[in-house]
Amino acid sequence: MHILARTTLHVAALAASTFLFSGSAAAQATGNNNMHFKGRLVAEPCSLAPGSAQRELHFLSVPVKDMYSTGRSISRPITVHLQNCNIAEGWTNIKVTFMGTESLPLPGFLQLDGGGATGVAIGLETADHRSLPLHKATQVGKLVVGNNDLTFMAFLKGEPDALKDRKIGLGDTNATVTFAFSYD
């Protein structure tokens, strides 16, 4: 099983068009708005370390009998490395939002891609086992100057009906999740 985590990067552009078109009116637009500038200027306190943008997590083999007895697999860690963190702007809190296809039987959990195991979803949590539901920004720590390592845990969880009816389908477990950090 692997979870591929891709960071979302905000491409920012600051464009000032006033000085470009304020002098001579030799070639004026005919009333149509023919040029638009959009973007966002950001100041993020940290950079994502090389190799942290795309990660894989392998659950290895998970015995289905363990799923039936405990309802879930053991948690496996995955660490994201942030570097060159500067908290001079006052940003010390970091939040993470995981985005992906949500399981219908287990809201907040990541649905598996088709073609493999069935009756299970992927749960995400902090290293101290606080839930990290999909699509919800959750504070995961305090930044320090320099490098910061954020460790998350992932686990397989049986869907309620699949556990009750003992109908977890065997096979590979694959899913993709995207993460984004926010600071305050």
| DSSP calls for 18-41 | HHHHSS--SS---S----------
d(CA 150, CA 148): 7
Looking at the whole model, is its pTM more than 0.85?
Answer: no
Q: What is the pLDDT along the chain (184 residues), one digit of tens a residue?
A: 333 333 222 222 222 223 333 334 445 555 666 676 877 766 788 888 988 878 788 887 899 999 999 999 999 999 999 999 998 888 889 999 999 999 999 999 999 998 899 999 999 999 999 999 999 999 999 999 999 999 999 999 999 999 999 999 999 999 999 999 998 8
> Structural domains in the chain?
47-183 (2.60.40.1090)
